[in-house]
Amino acid sequence: MKTRQLGSSGLEVSALGFGCMGLSFGYGPPTDTRTGVDLIRAAVDRGVTFFDTAEVYGPWINEEVVGEALAPVRDRVQIATKFGFNISDDGQNLGGLNSRPERIRQVAEASLKRLRTDRIDLFYQHRVDPAVPMEDVAGAVRDLITEGKVAHFGMSEAGADAIRRAHAVQPVAALQSEYSLFWREPEEAILPLLEDLGIGFVPFSPLGKGFLTGAITAETRFDAGDFRNSVPRFDEANRQANLALVEQLKLIAADKGATPAQIALAWLLDQKPWIVPIPGTTKLHRLEENLGGAEVVLSPSDLAAIEARLGEIDLIGERYPPAAQAMINR
**With 80 as the cut, is the pLDDT of residue 187 above it?**
yes
The torsion of the CA quartet 143, 148, 149, 150, rounded to 10 degrees, works out to 70
Sign of the Cα pseudo-torsion (195, 7, 52, 105, in order): negative
Q: How many CB atoms lie within 10 A of CB 10?
A: 10
Average pLDDT of span 305-327: 91
> What Cα–Cα distance (Å) separates residue 136 from each residue in 102, 129, 141, 142, 169?
10, 11, 9, 10, 9
Give the per-residue pLDDT at 176: 98
**With 80 as the cut, is the pLDDT of residue 156 above it?**
yes
How high does pLDDT run on average in the chain? 97
Give the per-residue pLDDT at 327: 83
Q: Examine residue 101 and say whether the peptide bond preceding it is cis (omega within 30 degrees of 0).
A: no
pLDDT in tens, 26-75: 999 999 999 999 999 999 999 999 999 999 999 999 999 999 999 999 99
**With 80 as the cut, is the pLDDT of residue 21 above it?**
yes
pLDDT in tens, 243-288: 999 999 999 999 999 999 999 999 999 999 999 999 999 999 999 9
Average pLDDT of span 295-315: 95
Give the per-residue pLDDT at 322: 86
Q: Cα separation of 190 and 31, whole Å?
A: 34
Residues 6+ apart with CB under 8 A from 6: 12, 13, 122, 152, 173, 174, 199, 200, 201, 202, 274, 276
| pLDDT top residue among 256 and 321 | 256
The dihedrals phi and psi of 46, each to the nearest 5 degrees, come to -100, 10
Q: Examine the residue annotation and report whether 57 is marked as an active-site residue of this protein.
A: yes
Asked if 180 and 208 count as a contact pair (C-beta separation under 8 A), the reply is yes
**With 80 as the cut, is the pLDDT of residue 329 above it?**
no
User: Residue 330 — very low, low, confident or very high, per pLDDT cuts 50/70/90?
Assistant: confident
Maximum Cα–Cα distance across the chain? 54
- Overall size of the chain counted in residues: 330
Residues 6+ apart with CB under 8 A from 308: none
Average pLDDT of span 89-95: 90
Give the per-residue pLDDT at 45: 98
Among 155, 220, 210, residue whose Cα is nearest residue 7: 155
User: Residue 6 — very low, low, confident or very high, per pLDDT cuts 50/70/90?
Assistant: very high
Average pLDDT of span 227-236: 96
**With 80 as the cut, is the pLDDT of residue 86 above it?**
yes
Q: Cα separation of 164 and 111, whole Å?
A: 27
Average pLDDT of span 229-248: 97
pTM for this structure? 0.97
Q: Cα separation of 166 and 161, whole Å?
A: 9
CATH no., domain 3-325: 3.20.20.100
**With 80 as the cut, is the pLDDT of residue 171 above it?**
yes
Catalytic residue among 27, 57, 124, 179: 57
Give the per-residue pLDDT at 324: 86
